[in-house]
């Protein structure tokens, strides 16, 4: 497991290393905007950065309208996140593509999983999915259900529900894998990961995942650690 670098501009930025972060116990760090706090998971760059974070809006917090030069991916974990296009309750998956703009806020507060500057340059379609009502598909083994969220140029994102006592086959991830545990306890041959654990495994990593009596719900992204993304402006 990689030890996290504790600088403002570089955190878990060696993508050849496996990283596990138990975000539920991490301290909230202030952002430049009052009322918006972050638990940083990985980061390459200054305030405009390639970044993965848990973000908390306190009640009434808001951002001025701004452009996402490298795109923004959001999964609403708690509360209701809003912008001028609508309200997005817990369970909403959003993709705001490169060049899109909005003025986000939260009336009563919310918690988000956010990824910035992790879009391919031509991935320009906005996505809005209410995962509370979207359909599930049967997974590759009994007890596994999959909800596809997005796929582009070999990078796939999905929710995966694991019934209690489900076991998957040993397998490799040629393009790497990233997991955020949303419910229950996810397990593999390297450890146990309760809710809000974040795992990033490098290209060609291998594991044998399974669940115990609790089962699990996880966010999963694969293929992206070998992908080319837009780069944030340097020096910021």
Among 169, 166, 161, 172, smallest CA distance to 206 is for: 172
Q: Which residues contact 224 (CB under 8 A, 6 or more apart)?
A: 118, 155, 175, 176, 178
Mean pLDDT of 134-153: 97
Ordered DSSP codes for 114-159: EEES-S-TT----EEEETTTSPPEE-SSTTEEEEEEEEETTEEEEE
Q: How many residues does the chain have?
A: 236
Our CA angle for 55, 231, 174, nearest 5°, is 85
Domain ranges of the chain: 20-130, 137-225
Calculate Rg over the CA atoms of the chain: 17
Torsion angle of alpha carbons 94, 97, 99, 105, nearest 10°?
A: 10
**C-beta atoms surrounding 16 within 10 Å:** 11
Global pTM value: 0.94
Q: How would residue 8 be classed by pLDDT, with cut points 50, 70 and 90?
A: low
**Residue 7: exposure state from Cβ atoms within 10 A (0-12, 13-18, ≥19):** exposed
pLDDT digits (tens, 9 = 90+) for 65-103: 999 999 999 999 999 999 999 999 999 999 999 999 999
Render the burial of 198-217: b for 16+ CB within 10 Å, e for the rest.
bbbbbbebebebbbeebbbb
- Assigned token pair, 231: 């780069």
The mean of the pLDDT values for the chain is 93
The residues with which 37 forms a beta bridge, in sequence order, are 30, 56
With respect to CATH, is domain 20-130 assigned 3.40.190.10?
Answer: no
pLDDT digits (tens, 9 = 90+) for 199-218: 999 999 999 999 999 999 99
Q: Do the domains 137-225 and 20-130 match in fold?
A: yes
Render the burial of 93-109: b for 16+ CB within 10 Å, e for the rest.
bbbbbbeeebebbbeeb
Superfamily of domain 137-225: Jelly Rolls (2.60.120.10)
Our CA angle for 104, 106, 109, nearest 5°, is 140
């Amino acid at each position: 497991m990689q030890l996290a670098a504790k600088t403002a501009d570089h955190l878990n930025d060696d993508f050849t290393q496996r990283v596990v972060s138990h975000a539920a116990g991490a301290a909230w760090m202030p952002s430049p905007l009052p009322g918006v706090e972050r638990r940083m998971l990985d980061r390459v760059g200054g305030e405009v950065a390639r970044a993965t974070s848990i973000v908390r809006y306190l009640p009434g917090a808001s951002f001025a309208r701004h452009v996402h030069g490298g795109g923004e991916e959001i999964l609403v974990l708690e509360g209701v996140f809003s912008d001028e296009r609508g309200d997005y309750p817990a369970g909403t998956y959003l993709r705001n593509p490169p060049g899109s703009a909005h003025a986000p806020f939260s009336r009563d507060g919310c918690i988000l999983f956010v990824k910035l500057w992790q879009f391919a340059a031509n991935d320009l379609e906005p996505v809005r999915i209410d995962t509370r009502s979207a359909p599930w598909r049967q997974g590759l083994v009994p007890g596994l259900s999959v909800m596809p969220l997005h796929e582009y140029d070999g990078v796939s994102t999905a929710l995966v529900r694991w019934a209690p006592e489900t076991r998957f086959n040993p397998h490799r991830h040629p393009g790497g894998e990233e997991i955020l545990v949303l419910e229950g306890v996810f397990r593999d041959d390297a450890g146990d990961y309760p809710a809000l654990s974040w795992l990033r495994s490098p290209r060609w990593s291998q594991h044998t995942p399974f669940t115990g009596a609790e089962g699990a719900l996880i966010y999963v992204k694969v293929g992206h650690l070998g992908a080319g993304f837009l780069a944030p402006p340097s020096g910021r």
